[in-house]
Amino acid sequence: MVFHKEFQTAGKEPGLQVWRVEKMDLKPVLKQLHGNFFTGDCYVLLYTTAAPSYYIHMWLGSESSQDEKGAAAIFTTQLDDFLGGDPVQFREVQNNESLTFLGYFKSGIKYKQGGVASGFQHVVTNDMNVKRLLHIKGRRAIRATEVDMSWSSFNRGDCFIIDLGKDIFQWCGSECNRFERLKASQVAIDVRDNERNGRATLLMIEEGGEPQAVIDALGTKPNIPAGSPDDESVDRSNQKKGALYMISDAAGSMKASVVAQTSPFKQEMLSPSECYILDNGVDSKIFIWKGPSANTAERNAAMKAAEQFIKEKKYPRHTQVQVLPGGGETTLFKQFFCNWKDKDQTTGPGQAYSLGRIAKVVQVPFDSSGLHTNKTMAAQHGMVDDGSGKVQVWRVEDGDQVPVDPSSYGQFYGGDCYLVLYSYRLGGREQHIIYTWQGLKCTQDELAASAFLTVRLDDSMGGSPVQVRVTQGQEPAHLMSLFKGKPMVIHLGGTSRKGGQSRVGSTRLFHIRQSSTRATRAVEVEPSAAFLNTNDVFVLKSPNTVFLWRGVGATEEELAAAQYVTSFLGGGSATEVSEGKEPAGFWSALGGKKEYQTSRSLQKMVKPPRLFGCSNKTGRLIAEEVPGDFNQSDLATDDVMLLDTWDQVRSWPELNVELSCLSAKDYVDSDPSGRRGIAITTIKQGMEPPTFTGWFQAWDPKLWETDPLERIRARF
């Protein structure tokens, strides 16, 4: 088969690649514009994990032509062939994308009007003559849709972004809640930092408090109508029902014969020499499973078979399709089977699963030892390169920037703000990124100075750098990868300035964890045994000794990072302690033994944890999954959140005990795998046990002491 020249770079390193179909050809989209989609176009996306394993997505805009859809399907099949038929394939339709797809874009996806046929291009612009209106929808999966620049597009229940080029206004309707404002702010910050290269002013405005610039752009403001309720699915009870069919002659006149009318299914129903359709059409999802020894023509015709099946069943055109090779099954597919087992060892690449990190299941190749030596740095979000370029770091001090000693690069103190300038070459040209890191314990003056100094540094370089503002604890993978193989170290508080160091505690505890992109971070936490976690490595420095504690599920990279942390803490060589064999001195330094995250399921489970938000603000129960890797800031305090770790479901916070229990019970009862009677725990906000907090890296017990909305406003 002839392969497109763009495929030469496909899947070569971990991360996301995006191409747009242009005049029956494929053209790459710049990384900083990932997440922007023209509604008149089609796209092909490839996500590669470190293992590697591959996920191909064909995205179809609502106004794209039949020819463009056909070309996207051909390129998808070619890319699947080029990668040996191993990828999982998804068909994505605008406004009905899969959670896997939405998880790549944590700050939301933006739908832009027009497309290649009407001359619209993907470009990063310093052009300040932009004039557009974005309507923000969604609490967990955020979508920003370009709408007519008119007051008639507004309603009181949602947030809108009025983008006037050099000024970007986030308009909040009088009926929208705090969490929706928080999510809309992420989109506004993303527009400023990535589309406008950091060169725009952000302002949050309330309905009724519009400045003159907004009135000039939109005209006299009429009465704004009320918001309409979100249109998520009402009833979960039949959403999880599935039927299983075997396909014969998929390449010719496809026939589908029933294997089982209703889930849960048994894994042995799938023969390795056949292809199957798992019909979850009631929830707008169809899965095609390709047996590893099925004939090539049938495997290649899988997507076509799915589309034919959707037509025959008269399912909506936007029905999601996943095409899965045997061994590459997704969580959504496996949940329909009551006895699914993944192979511990396989001979094909990327087919067995192992838990690479809490809240992230990484597919690994059959030679798991290769995983520990693989130093490839990569990215889910904005990894422009492997971090091997030039790094300069300054600390904000007395309103100015002071160079940081290169020997302590990578160490960040919660009482400071820093500017990190990163320079690298791309396509023969030098490129720059300015990261502005803002500690959670820095002063308001330092926050303001860091923003001013970023603009000054940017101006001194002719306005060419990309600006990225980073809040402590929210470091992107690329920033974590800049310190030449050393972990990024985040001190709880204090400052690195000479003579200004606040006294550190006599006992200190650092939590070391590797991210899904293979970068390591060491985060200082309160010195208490409750913060330990069986999957990670910890360094404990007491007045008399330094302990290096290794959890059962920890990796070699985390151990190496811990040894680096012990080297700068001083106190002599570290005493290595394995979990379960701790000396008495270790526990006494931590103030005594306490319960911590020791869940065996964390070590042995192949099913990744899932986080859902449940809301009944519309008078009916709506459950929605959080896409991608979740973190503590995904917990919405005005919703009931469900954390499903397979052996238990935990409900948080205890706002309404009846609603919490009802949500959790309804969720378990509708599980297609037939799980019943598992433990349901209700958790109070502010009193979370380690069996809950252990699923979130560097859990901050003081996170809600300050208003999350005020924290994100500080980034404006």
pLDDT recorded at residue 677: 58
Kindly report whether the global pTM for this prediction surpasses the value 0.85. no
Between 29 and 383, the higher pLDDT residue: 29
Show which of 439, 465, 491 is a domain's final residue: 491
pLDDT recorded at residue 240: 60
Cβ(61)–Cβ(71) below 8 Å:
no
Between 28 and 365, the higher pLDDT residue: 28
Q: Is the confidence at residue 501, as pLDDT, over 70?
A: no
pLDDT recorded at residue 208: 94
Between 382 and 27, the higher pLDDT residue: 27
Q: Which amino acid, residue 3?
A: F
Q: How far apart are CA 78 and CA 286, in angstroms?
A: 22
Q: How far apart are CA 323 and CA 302, in angstroms?
A: 7
Residue 165 shares a structural domain with residue 213: yes
Q: Is the confidence at residue 710, as pLDDT, over 70?
A: yes
Show which of 571, 598, 625 is a domain's final residue: 598
Q: Predicted confidence band at 371 (pLDDT cuts at 50, 70, 90)?
A: very low
Q: How many CB atoms lie within 10 A of CB 345?
A: 9
Q: Which two tokens stand for residue 292?
A: 């590893």
Residue 173 shares a structural domain with residue 220: yes
Give per-residue pLDDT as tens, 236-280.
Answer: 444 567 899 998 775 567 788 899 988 888 888 999 888 999 999
Residue with tokens 């069943």: 313
Q: Is the confidence at residue 569, as pLDDT, over 90?
A: no
pLDDT recorded at residue 138: 80
Between 348 and 30, the higher pLDDT residue: 30
pLDDT recorded at residue 43: 97
Average of per-residue pLDDT across 527-541: 92
pLDDT recorded at residue 476: 74
Q: Is the confidence at residue 711, as pLDDT, over 90?
A: no
- Mean model confidence pLDDT for the chain: 81
Of 431-440, 470-479, 530-539, 629-638, which has the strongest mean pLDDT? 530-539
Residue 208, in any domain of the structure? yes
pLDDT recorded at residue 231: 42
Average of per-residue pLDDT across 275-294: 90
Residue 380, in any domain of the structure? no
Residue 396 shares a structural domain with residue 480: yes
At 285, phi and psi to the nearest 5?
A: -135, 135
Q: Assign residue 273 the CATH number of its domain.
A: 3.40.20.10
Residue 372, in any domain of the structure? no
Between 213 and 343, the higher pLDDT residue: 213
Give per-residue pLDDT as tens, 84-121.
Answer: 888 999 999 998 898 889 989 888 899 998 887 766 66
Percentage of residues in the chain with pLDDT exceeding 90?
Answer: 33
Average of per-residue pLDDT across 337-348: 55
Q: Is the confidence at residue 608, as pLDDT, over 90?
A: no
Average of per-residue pLDDT across 520-524: 89
Average of per-residue pLDDT across 543-560: 90
Residue 529 shares a structural domain with residue 445: no
pLDDT recorded at residue 127: 59
Residue 662 shares a structural domain with residue 592: no
Give per-residue pLDDT as tens, 36-78.
Answer: 999 999 999 999 988 788 999 999 999 999 999 999 999 999 9
Strands 25-28 and 143-147 come out as unpaired
Range list of H helices, 407-469:
444-460
pLDDT recorded at residue 164: 93
Q: Is the confidence at residue 153, as pLDDT, over 80?
A: yes
Percentage of residues in the chain with pLDDT exceeding 70?
Answer: 83
Q: Predicted confidence band at 627 (pLDDT cuts at 50, 70, 90)?
A: confident
pLDDT recorded at residue 356: 26
Average of per-residue pLDDT across 565-571: 81
Q: How far apart are CA 246 and CA 284, in angstroms?
A: 19
Strands 275-280 and 417-426 come out as unpaired
Residue 385, in any domain of the structure? no
User: Looking at the 3D structure of the chain, how many domains does it have?
Assistant: 6
Residue 532 shares a structural domain with residue 568: yes
Residue 350, in any domain of the structure? no
pLDDT recorded at residue 453: 93
Q: How far apart are CA 359 and CA 324, in angstroms?
A: 22
Give per-residue pLDDT as tens, 698-709.
Answer: 788 888 888 888
Residue 40, in any domain of the structure? yes
pLDDT recorded at residue 633: 85
Domain span at 96: 5-118
Residue 137 shares a structural domain with residue 198: yes
Instruction: Say how many CA atoms lie within 13 Å of 181 toward its Cβ.
Output: 23
